[in-house]
Chains A and B, each alone.
Chain A
């Protein structure tokens, strides 16, 4: 699948396109198929996201989304060396694939 990601303009937080808005959770990401460029241009112009781009990802059997590249997996989770600063403490369910 093709999913969209970027950083929040104000906070810099990593976000994922869920079809209507930008979510902090990669599992909310939706397949945008052919529409990537169109959504990216629109959302960036609306300043709802900063420097967004499209990436390859797969949806696992349990419904979790796994970005193809390690860089985006680390973006999705947070720094692997500071688990306390990742999404895990608030959302233990969020990400359980191995980096």
Chain B
């Protein structure tokens, strides 16, 4: 795992002290809220419905057990005993006091963490494949490239005031586990015919009120030009992105309005110019970073799972992922207990996960964009012992990628921008589907819920998506079908008129019935939808 050098540490420490001074001046009345707000947002501190909220960056979702332990301690010491893992592989605390905020940042800095660039119109935390460095199907570990981009994008002077926020994802497998094409820039590390590694660039994806799938603008950028190419993409956006209208300011609108070809032409022109400027970091730096991500010392051991305990076998089938070493698997810890709040974990649970990572996974954890946690390297021989401990801690739900493994944003229970609540829907749906045996019969079914058009809950990319809207002061929900954020990226389509809270739960039940009646062979919900189209679902929902 990457660890800070003295530059990183000095920058983060200096930032904490700077913020401590700013917060003090705000509390003393030397700064107004209008003056302070941009300063606190640059340090991840929002004001939400019930209190301040702090968003902590977890670069490409990777952290070690010491860091995880510190996150649990902060939840207990400064918050109300829990934290919320988000779709951008970050952690949010919901009950922060302004008086404590600088102390929390100082505690984070001690374990090489921060909240810098988790808000504002800058390059945000870079996300990646949660099985990076472990997955059997990856070409290489994408994280060294993500780390190089983190260093490039941290405090980048030219990109601190972009027209709008900017999100980058980096993957290195054909299977997309990071919603790569729904980012402002999605990068896939690929190999050319000569066997050299390079980066494929997708630019202009996003969710929000105008969802778009990023088109590919360059098939192969040599690794020693990666940063230069990214810089060119950002420069064109920084220059021409719409600053006149917040809702048209994301890069997806620029790429759409210019057209992919014209945007690409401008990027290539800028790139050609930048190549002569020598801004690319030396490859030796990439090599230095790569040494931090070397494989741990894997050992040969049992390759067969003992399936004699049926509950354990169900969990193994659902919640483990094939590892590049055949004596290991990656284990997914579900933060979606039946009736629970998606992505929430108590301070105690966070510390338990930290301890289990130390004991069973070479000290490493990953946060998934689906709001779960991964122990990336677990020996098959240790799996049963691990599962037993997870069960005891209430962390053993065997539901990865099922309808119960829902993404739900904080919604109107916490979020100042929300139109409707999302969490209660998630709770009721998981309870209902768990009570019948329907969850298992449905198999893979990705369900995603957002409380407003900003789409933090990825509803556009759900096999089934729900969007909360405000209908004359009451909560109302739009249902959509057919989205995907995997390598077969697609945007969901709205079924028709919206529903009440009870109504939308019935509606989800009905569309899953249509699937169960119509599916052929091994089809997933999404496959059946793609084959039969919207009509049969509409008919079931609204009558002929």
Contact = CB atoms under 8 A, between A and B. Distances in A.
B341 interface: yes
A16 to B, nearest CB: 13
Interface stretch (A28-36, A57-65, A79-87): A79-87
A11 B98 contact: yes
A54 B424 CA distance: 28
A9 B50 contact: no
A12 B423 contact: no
Given A14-B50, A71-B49, A78-B50, A9 B98 contact: yes
Contact of B49 (A10, A68, A75): A75
B80 interface: yes
Interface of B is mostly: mixed
Interface string B390-415: 00000000000000000000001110
Contact of A80 (B27, B413, B474): B413
A10 B473 CA distance: 31
A7 interface: yes
A47 interface: yes
A14 B97 CA distance: 12
Contacts of B47: 7, 12, 50-51
Nearest to A44: B33
A79 B414 contact: yes
A45 B474 CA distance: 34
A56 to B, nearest CB: 11
A74 B413 CA distance: 7
Contact of A47 (B29, B97, B414, B423): B29
A42 interface: no
A5 to B, nearest CB: 11
A65 to B, nearest CB: 17
B83 to A, nearest CB: 13
B412 A7 contact: no
A47 B99 CA distance: 14
B98 A81 contact: no
A55 interface: no
Contact of A85 (B27, B33, B80, B99): B80
B119 interface: no
Contacts of A85: 80, 95
Contacts of A7: 47, 51
Interface in B27-79: 27, 29, 33, 47, 49-52
Contact of B474 (A51, A70, A75): A70
A17 B97 CA distance: 20
Interface in B412-443: 412-414, 416, 418, 421, 423-424, 427
30 contacts: A7-B47, A7-B51, A9-B26, A9-B27, A10-B27, A10-B97, A10-B98, A10-B99, A11-B51, A11-B97, A12-B47, A12-B51, A12-B52, A12-B96, A12-B97, A13-B50, A13-B51, A14-B50, A47-B27, A50-B47, A69-B473, A70-B412, A70-B475, A71-B49, A71-B412, A74-B49, A80-B424, A81-B423, A81-B427, A85-B95
Interface of B: 26-27, 29, 33, 47, 49-52, 80, 95-99, 341, 412-414, 416, 418, 421, 423-424, 427, 473-475
**A-B CB proximity, top 6 nearest:** A12-B51, A79-B413, A12-B52, A81-B423, A11-B97, A47-B29
